[in-house]
Structure 1
Amino acid sequence: MESARISKWLNLLVCVLLLLKAEGSLVPLTLVKNAESKGAVCLDGSPPAYHFDNGFEEGIKNWIVHIEGGGWCNNVESCLYRKDSRLGSSKQMEDLYFSAILSNEQEYNPDFYNWNRVKVRYCDGSSFTGDVEEVDQTTNLHFRGARIFSAVMEELLAKGLEKAENAILSGCSAGGLTTILHCDRFKNLLPSEANVKCVPDAGYFVNVEDISGTHFIEKFYSEVVSTHGSAKNLPSSCTSKFSPELCFFPQYVASHISTPIFVVNAAYDSWQIQNIFVPGSADPSDSWHSCKLDISNCSPDQLSKMQDFKSEFEKAVSVVGDSSSKGMFIDSCYAHCQTESQETWYKSDSPQLANTTIAKAVGDWFYGRSSFRHVDCNYPCNPSCQNRVFDLKDHPGI
């Protein structure tokens, strides 16, 4: 009886160790040197930070710089709310595990496992676009996202990024938007002969009417741009034609990006459905509540409206273009951010399009083994999807 109990616990320990291995390696937090003297600081005035794991073997001159996500703050009140959290202060940040696109295990990240891998923390609330010199002494809020991006890149260049042979700028959610907005800027920092590409994940936020017929997100982005003084740091190829708040939307920027780019996104992006298409203000009776938590709970009418959203998303993402240097993996999953989770990045049951996982599609495209540009059929057509099911505590909002 005792030996059976010991065997049971040993098996459990093995399972835990395997799970920890799959979760990835713990990478310490690094504060950016001399950032404060440059005014490149988080919302609370603390120095920005990143996590860096060295490349090895053949990947020693290759780099992935991955930008953390976390929404935006659009006014003083919402920025004050973030100020004392990890999304506004490096004082609240801790060491992180690297997995999926940042994993150092070949079986979990076959094409990029031995690269130099960096995760840049997000603490400015503007997708690294803000730059307001004046600091209100009452709030002590610093709107310096663009300076943070420059300071982090300067430090990484000195660590070896300036000699990169291959490099990827990537990011999730607000970090995916950062990737799009800063894609060409990142390319211009590196050697002209380097192979540099961008992989935004869940960052293709679209300018659509919500279910009440209001452009809620356009007003929100306008307030972000105004609060942070972002206009001068948005791509000039866009601001020369459109108002600055529109240039916070990828659909007005993407066609002008010259750097190769691969868009990873769910067509039924759960964050966009919950916050752009059906924000709380557009659903005062909360009739969409159950549907937003779990897409399988949606009524036929709600699903029909979601198909309309998918059509608008497809139209918006089509401006990326069909050049072989541009790729996309647009699945029909109810999900948000699929390159940061091992389950959706690269496992035997990961989401697939054309019998291909996200990791393989991105790797094939980056190395020129094959192009990849696929937009999925309508929900619920893809049995490989891992659809998110939310509960009350993780139902996000802006």
Structure 2
Amino acid sequence: MERLRRWIINIVVCALLSITTEGVGVGITYLESAVAKGAVCLDGTAPAFHWDKGSGSGINNWMVLIEGGGWCQDIANCIDRKGCDRGSSTLMRKEFGFSGILGPQNRTNPDFSNWNRVKVRYCDGASFTGDVEAVDPINRLHFRGARIWHAVMDELLEKGMKNAENAILTGCSAGGLATILHCDDFRDHLPSTTKVKCVADAGYFIHGKDISGGSYVESFYKQVVSLHGSVKNLPQSCTSRTNPPELCFFPQYVIPHMHTPIFIISAAYDSWQIKNILAPGPADKLRAWDTCKFDFRTCSQNQMNVIQSFRYQVLNALKPVMDNKQHGLFLDSCYAHCQAGGEDTWMLDNSPIIDNTTIAKAVGDWFYERNYYNKVDNCGYPCNPTCPDLNEAD
């Protein structure tokens, strides 16, 4: 029964994750040369990416976006995962629409629309950190995310990124976490003359307390790191200082030791974190949060008080970003998850704003140093009227 339940959930999740974004379709490139290096997806297939070439003033500028889509923490979940495009490149869409921060239109993406824009597909299940040589002949799972990362970087350098004048590494959710974990390494791959910064969207997963008083997310990430052999590929600047080292899967322990400027886009009421860090199923034995965490309109006053207190956990975890002037921050009081990938939340008339500034303008001003931007909605949910209504839709 449990296997059937997980299979059904996996089918639904895979279907949702496969929905293309708006924008012009960009064809897929399979990196077949990486297979000989063991840089492969969970099922052993070649990694892949989509590349929309730059033009005009953006011909030597590069935006590399790492796709998101959760993690797999045990063999059963990784086996399920390789049954969709987050574990096998053979199941990936051949074309992907680019929008938001990858958008091709100057009207909705004025600072980056003519850059080389790359979407790196996510098929390893550990934010591109794993590297286990052995492959069990029974489950045939390959934990090789770190090898994929390096293979893709090498390929993009050969395709022209080695001549980059400006470069940004970005990503949403698990891709946002990968952005944080690989930001300094991305800087190291590029010439010293390249202006390099990173933008992590909804990837700042906090080491927080759940409704039971424990930290289910800590045990979950510990399983991910252990299964994929990730510790050796987490930032050494963090693992050499943090005990246990697997805590370096949490951005709040990585950011203080980073050298590369990074901009954090996040929601104080991040919908994934509300569901999986504050009120995960294992911490909610009576299932009292089953409805509330998906739709705040159904929450009791006590539950809303707990949700409001979660915002303070988020603010505390973000102090390393707030306290460093080279970093940027857009923390709205929305119930949302990932806000840079779509035009509706990136830069339209009804997009989320803080101090009359959209996310797109905040990131652009920060990257080009037109204006320092480190802003927080100084009020609780639902104080920001520009937030999208994602209740029951996330």
Q: Which amino acid aligns with 1:217?
A: V
Q: Distance in 2 between matches of 1:132 and 1:290?
A: 39
1:244 is aligned to 245
Confirm or deny that 1:195 pairs with 2:195.
yes
Partners of 2:322 and 2:374 within 8 A in 1: no
Partners of 2:181 and 2:234 within 8 A in 1: yes
Partners of 2:322 and 2:329 within 8 A in 1: no
1:177-199 Cα offsets, whole Å, 9 max, x none, are 00000000000111101110000
1:81 is aligned to 80
SS at match of 1:182: helix
Q: Distance in 2 between matches of 1:33 and 1:74?
A: 27
Bigger mean CA deviation after superposition, 319-328 or 61-70: 319-328
Q: Kindly, what percent of the aligned residue pairs are identical? A: 58
How far apart are residue 321 of structure 1 and its match? 4.4
Q: Distance in 1 between matches of 2:135 and 2:340?
A: 36
1:269-318 Cα offsets, whole Å, 9 max, x none, are 00000011101112222222222122233222111111111101100011
How many residue pairs get matched? 371
2:325 is aligned to 324
Q: Which amino acid aligns with 1:389?
A: N
2:174 is aligned to 174
How far apart are residue 32 of structure 1 and its match? 1.0
1:113 is aligned to 113
The TM-score with structure 2 as length reference comes to: 0.92
Confirm or deny that 1:286 pairs with 2:291.
no
Q: Distance in 1 between matches of 2:391 and 2:123?
A: 27
Q: Distance in 1 between matches of 2:203 and 2:329?
A: 12
Q: Which amino acid aligns with 2:299?
A: C
1:44 is aligned to 43
1:385 is aligned to 387
Partners of 1:162 and 1:191 within 8 A in 2: yes
Q: Distance in 2 between matches of 1:180 and 1:58?
A: 27
Q: Which amino acid aligns with 2:347?
A: Y
Q: Which amino acid aligns with 1:90?
A: S
Q: Which amino acid aligns with 2:210?
A: D
Q: Which runs of 5+ in 2 are unaligned?
A: 1-20
1:89-144 Cα offsets, whole Å, 9 max, x none, are 00100111001111110011111000000000000000000000000000100000
Confirm or deny that 1:253 pairs with 2:258.
no
2:348 is aligned to 347
Q: Distance in 2 between matches of 1:373 and 1:259?
A: 16
The TM-score with structure 1 as length reference comes to: 0.91
SS at match of 1:271: helix
Q: Which runs of 5+ in 1 are unaligned?
A: 1-21
1:26 is aligned to 25
Let me know the Cα RMSD of the aligned residues. 1.1
For 1:209-228, what aligned pairs fall within 5 Å after superposition?
Answer: 209-228=209-228
Partners of 1:225 and 1:244 within 8 A in 2: no
Give the structure with higher Rg (CA): 1
2:301 is aligned to 300
Bigger mean CA deviation after superposition, 323-332 or 228-237: 323-332
